[in-house]
Structures are given as structure tokens and as C-alpha cells.
Amino acid sequence: MFTVCKFGGSSVADSTQFKKIKDIVLADDRRRLVVVSAMGRRNKEDYKVTDMLYLTYAHVKYGGNYKSILDVIRARYQEAAAELHLDYDVAADFDKLEQRIQTGCSEEFLVSRGEYFCAKLMAAYLGYEFVDAADVVHFRYDGTVDDERTSRDIAAAFGAGKRVVIPGFYGSYPSGEVKLFSRGGSDITGAIVAKAVSADKYENWTDVSGVYMADPRIVDNPRHIAEVTYDELRELSYMGASVLHEETILPIREINIPIYILNTNAPQDKGTKICKDAAKSKQAITGIAGKKNFKAFTIVKDTAASKLKVIQAVLDIFDRFGVPVEHIPTSIDSFNVIVESKYTEKVTYDILTEIAKLDEVVSVDIDNDLALVAVVGRNMVTNTGISGAIFSIFGKHGINIKTIAQGTREINITVGIANADFEKCIRAIYEDMV
């Protein structure tokens, strides 16, 4: 029985955090596979190493003084190595990196070094073997993970009796070039490793004791969630609950490896368990999450034109510009396409122009002021009256609903409101429904 432990950026931010990790790892003999992020923030004013590495690359690219930024990063690793009395020669590795920068390296390679150095440091500190993610996490050229090859190589690297540390967040293309996951992707590495070794559990160690029913920055002391299903967590994290990268669940959902969200700074806390069949709960809803800054494109079509064809043509345009679509509420002669604004920053006018060119389209308009709030819960399917209760809350608090979506799985109800109503809306639902 093996447990995969992934430690996030704040858990590996300095030598004090490394010591907490050693205590955690040594407390349970099953914790033989450790995945780490790059060093994160030590306090609110601090910077994440990953962000500094992106900045370093921007300076390299535009001929700025990258060395001063790299020296700040170097100092953080050197300080931790010195405080932990490690033999690991951080300076030699950073010298090599500088040579590599001078001869030319990709942004993804440079940014991946945050995790790489952290894993080397952690391996030296725990006395575990360092396994480079570039050797075992394999991407195809289309950016998807080659599961079979990856599982095989991770399982091979983790032989009998071994204890290993693997850097999160990256792998490599068949050519050997480093490829990153999207931000926060060390969570995905942890899941991939858990799947490859058929771990008994995947512990995701962070700086909060699990998942809460609402964002604590919006709702005071929200209730803790003891157990949540994979599907609920995916909905919540997709809709902005910043606990886990939303893709973390995918590699292990089928084989039902439970994930535990745990707190490195309070390891005795119970945390949140994420699994297929979460324990029964009397709570009608499991959590509330949401995101601001969506756009709704309103397309009015010619009454004689086929709605399906127009929707297809319009979606094709969004696809061509690489803009993911959230919802498509429809009525007989018009429909909306709702997208996250960050994806359309540079292409809004191009998309409008292309849509307007379609013969069947009478007009196209944009509403730039949209936030989405999702109420998520596995019990919604068996409880009637939940949507009625939610909508009456909106009425009571004078919040105008712009869009509504609920799938037949009835795991979430998503409403669109004005950005300015966002916090008020989450508080109101929490106060009345929890």
C-alpha cells in the first residue's frame, strides 16, 4: 500500500515548511511517493517562484537584466539548502541553468525549473530518490498525456522498496522538450503518479484544512465539507473554488483512488475526502462557487433559418478562435453564447465580425457584465424544491438573474448575474440554504 503525497507551493515555501513535510512523510510508512510544486509565497507580500521564472523568461526574451531576478530565486533555494544542512549543490545547478539560458532555452523549460530544483532539494532532505518528471511524464505532440507510457515509466521508476520525489507541473514531448501543464498542474502530476502505482490514496497537502462550502473571502467561517464526490469537486473547482486543479480528478476517478485535501500547517485536521461515493449527508447542497467576468454574445437569427445550423456555425467561430464555450441558453429566434472574458480579450471584435457575416444572423450583441454562480450538490437530484428555494433568494435580495442552466444530472444549478451582485449573491445563498 502506497500513498502519494503532493505538497503545494506554500507547503514548500522555505526550510520551516520542509521540516513540517519531513514530519508528515515520516509519520506514515506508506508515504513513499512525494510530488512537489515550486516554492510558493512565504507571506502575502512574497512572490511565487513560478511567477518569477515567467518574469525571468520575459527579461531573457526582451534583452532585460534577467540575472537579478534569477539571483533572487537562486537565493531562496540556497537559503533553504543551507538551513537544512544539505549537501545538494544548488549553486552548481543554477550555474548550469544560466549557461543553458545563454545558449537558448524554451520558456516552459525555464519555468519548470521551479519544481525541478524543489524536488531535488526535497529528495536530498528526505533521503528519497529524485525522479525527473521529464523522464516519466510523457506528452503527445497534441499536448495530451500518453497515459500508457507515463504509467509504465512511473511504475518502473518506483521499484520495490523505493521512495521517490517527483517534480510536479511538467513532463516532456516525445522529442524530450519540456512541456508544462496549465497553472496549478502539480495536482495533476500527483494524480497521474497515484494512478501509475495504484496508490491507496492521494494526499494533496496545502495551506487549508480541506474544502469549504463557500469561499472564506466572501462568507465568514463557511462550513467545512468532510466528504465530496469527484463530480461535485470538479464542478466546484471548475467554477472557481481554488482547491484543486479541475483536471486532477480525471486520471483517478475511474479507479476510485480517494483524494484527501490536507493542511501541512495543521496535519492533525481531518481535511476533506474526495471519492466516488461520498458519505450520505443531510445537506441539500454541498457547496457554492462562482466566477466573475463572463461575456454573453446574443445572436438573433432570421426566423426562417434553422436554429441548429446557426448555432453550429457560430460555435465553429468560437472554436476557430480557441474560445471555450460555457453555456448556450436558447429561445426560438435567438440564443446566447456565454464565454469567459479572459479568452476573448484579443478576439472579441473578430468574433463579432465573423458572426455578423453569417447570412442567417440578423444581429449580434454583447453583454460584458456577467458573473456565474454555481450551486453544487449530489443531493439535489433527490430533493425537490431546491431551485425554487434558490430563485426565491434572488427575489428576496433583489438580484436580477440573467441566465440559468441546470443539466439533467442535476448536480449543479448555475445562474448568471451582474458582476456587482456576485458577493452578495453567494452570501445570500449560503445564509438561506446552509
Binding mask 79-118 for ligand ASP (x = CB under 6 A): -----------------------------------x----
Determine phi and psi for 185, rounding to 5 degrees: -75, -5
Kindly write down the DSSP assignment for every residue of 157-219, as one continuous string. HS-TT--EEEE-SEEE-TTS-EEE-STTTHHHHHHHHHHHTT-SEEEEEESSSSEESS-TTTS
Residue of 168, 190, 287, 377 interacting with ligand ASP (CB under 6 A):
168
The residues in 18-57 that bind ligand ASP, with binding defined as CB under 6 A, are 37-38, 48, 50
Nearer to ligand ASP, 170 or 422 (CB): 170
DSSP assignments along 330-370, one per residue: B-SSEEEEEEEGGGTTTTHHHHHHHHHHSTTEEEEEEEEEE
d(CA 235, CA 1): 30
Q: Are 115 and 184 in contact (CB under 8 A)?
A: no
C-alpha cell of residue 162: 523505493
Choice between 17 and 186, CB closer to ligand ASP = 186
Q: Between 36 and 313, whose beta carbon lies closer to ligand ASP?
A: 36
Binding to ligand ASP by CB under 6 A, coded x per residue (else -) over 187-206, reads x-------------------
CA dihedral 73, 77, 80, 86 (to 10 degrees): -160
User: Which of the residues 335 through 394 are near ligand ASP (CB under 6 A)?
Assistant: none
Nearest distance, CB of residue 189 and ligand ASP, angstroms: 8
Q: Are 8 and 207 in contact (CB under 8 A)?
A: yes
Q: Which is nearer to ligand ASP, 21 or 214 (CB)?
A: 21
Q: Among the candidate windows 67-75, 134-142, 183-191, 229-237, which touches ligand ASP by CB under 6 A?
A: 183-191
Decide if residue 167 touches ligand ASP (CB under 6 A).
no
One-letter amino acid of 202: Y
Q: How far is CA 84 from CA 1, 77, 99, in A?
A: 30, 11, 27
Task: Please choose, out of 57-65, 182-190, 298-306, 408-416, the segment that lies near ligand ASP by the rule CB under 6 A.
Answer: 182-190
Amino acid at 75: A
Looking at 62-70, 178-186, 213-221, 260-268, which segment touches ligand ASP (CB under 6 A)?
178-186
DSSP string, 17-28: HHHHHHHHHHT-
Residue 272 contacts residue 211 (beta carbons within 8 Å): yes
- If one asks whether residue 183 binds ligand ASP (CB under 6 A), the answer comes out as yes
Report the nearest approach of ligand ASP to the CB of residue 262 (Å): 16
Query: From CA 20, how far away is CA 17, in angstroms rounded?
Result: 5
171, 185, 222, 377: which one contacts ligand ASP (CB under 6 A)? 185
Task: Give the Cα separation of 90 and 17 in Å (integer).
Answer: 18
Nearest approach in angstroms of CB 182 to ligand ASP is: 8
Cβ-based nearer residue to ligand ASP, 52 or 90: 52
Return the number of the residue (34 or 337) whose C-beta is nearest ligand ASP: 34
> Closest separation between CB of residue 323 and ligand ASP, Å?
22
From the list 9, 167, 222, 290, which residue makes contact with ligand ASP (rule: CB under 6 A)?
9
CB within 8 A of 392, min separation 6: which ones?
Answer: none
Can you give the binding site for ligand ASP, defined by CB under 6 A?
Answer: 8-9, 37-38, 48, 50, 114, 168-169, 183-187
